Chains A and B, each alone.
Chain A
Amino acid sequence: MSTPFTELQMDALRELANIGSGTASTALASMLGRPVDISVPNAQALPFADAVDAIGPAEQIVTGVVLDVIGELDATVLLLLEESDAATLCGLLGVDPEDEMAASALGEIGNIVGASYINALGAMTGLELEPEPPVSATDMLAAIVATVLTGRAQGDDIALVLDSQLAVEGEDCSISFVLVPTRGGVEELLARLGLES
């Protein structure tokens, strides 16, 4: 599979994701009062169908929190939590996972963590970025990811997926982070890093 981006460009995008998720992990750690580890991000430029497969099993039930980025970059940040991760996070926040408060608690985590990720991207690139209020859904992974990709579709089939994981130390709990910029958005990010195609 050929990617439209060079290895150097992909490295730079991976580094952006790394710093973004590092900032997000700090936000999550202060919310939970626990250390949070981050994984080395995975950067892949893939056709839509392959992007869905790369993110996870199609029918797995996950909670997705979606933050659209507005301003000088067209992108969407998607946070994905497996059911057990969502329950653990609720527990750490002192909310019953079965309670109706649970969805809003998770939305708030998504909001704070996602917004700090977006702010870090903005600070690194000098782009004026602002997150929209989050929306969330709990459903099959493919349905959530495909709908997010589709919302950003501009006719070309390639999605850049910057995937990293936040893991709460001492708990079996992690959040996947996916940044989905549009093709124009990727060009803008690369241009700001001095790596335009």
Chain B
Amino acid sequence: MAEFMVRMGEHAVSSVAGDVLVSLGLGSCIGLVLLDRRAAVAGLAHVVLPALVGRDTSTPGKFADTAAEALLAAMERLGARRTRVEAVLVGGASMFGSASAGLEVGQRNDVAVRAELARLRIPVAAAETGGSEGRTVRVALESGRVTAKPAGGEEQELYAGWKARVQA
């Protein structure tokens, strides 16, 4: 089993059963997971900011308004169809409570990611966003299972994945 770290601003897709896509310690950032159950393809973007700043499009995973499209394009190359894709969101916390406006990016990220998904007509199947706790997100390609884990807490399943469908 290979864990692939998806760090700030990065994105990754996979269709390899042994792969696990991971973003450790999401604070105000959003872990945007897109999945196509039928094709057993998933992608994870570590979104940092609500909107593209400047014209540098070399890190599309970093921005809420470019991440979903970048994931979709890469997932299509692995056999996914965008009409089947669902989303799971993790993160977007306000780590410092009522801190200065500069630190209130979490909520704005959440709103911006959801707006972009609505524009692309991608349903949000599950979300664990907001609050004040950091979280780690894991996407296991073997099962399609998506989990979120708060600091010092238990891993919790947000999305059962494709294995559940096969067994049903």
Contact = CB atoms under 8 A, between A and B. Distances in A.
A143 to B, nearest CB: 3
Given A143-B26, A148-B103, A136 B96 contact: yes
A138 B95 CA distance: 9
B100 interface: yes
A52 B25 CA distance: 10
Interface string A3-33: 0000000000000000000000000000000
A140 B105 contact: no
A154 B95 CA distance: 20
B134 A150 contact: no
Contacts of A146: 8, 25-29, 48
Interface residues on A, range: 20 to 34
Main secondary structure of the interface of A (DSSP, over half): mixed
B99 A66 contact: yes
B97 to A, nearest CB: 7
Nearest to B93: A143
Contacts of B56: 155
Given A141-B25, A142-B134, A151 B103 contact: yes
A139 B99 contact: no
A49 interface: yes
B8 A52 contact: yes
Contact of A144 (B7, B54, B95): B95
Interface in B8-34: 8-10, 24-29
The CB with the most chain B CB atoms within 10 A, among A143, A148, A157, is that of A143
Contacts of B103: 66, 135, 147-148, 151
A48 B59 CA distance: 12
A59 interface: yes
A58 interface: yes
Given A49-B10, A139-B27, A146-B28, A153 B49 contact: yes
Interface string A31-59: 00000000000000001110011000011
Interface in B55-70: 56, 59, 62
A196 interface: no
A141 B105 CA distance: 17
A193 interface: no
Given A137-B95, A143-B134, A150 B25 contact: no
Given A146-B8, A157-B59, A137 B25 contact: no
Contacts of A72: none
A92 interface: no
Contacts of A136: 96
A68 interface: yes
A137 B49 contact: no
Interface in A130-168: 132, 135-144, 146-157
Interface of A: 47-49, 52-53, 58-59, 61, 66, 68, 132, 135-144, 146-157
16 contacts: A66-B96, A132-B100, A135-B100, A135-B103, A139-B27, A140-B136, A142-B26, A143-B27, A143-B93, A144-B25, A146-B8, A147-B93, A147-B106, A150-B29, A156-B54, A157-B9
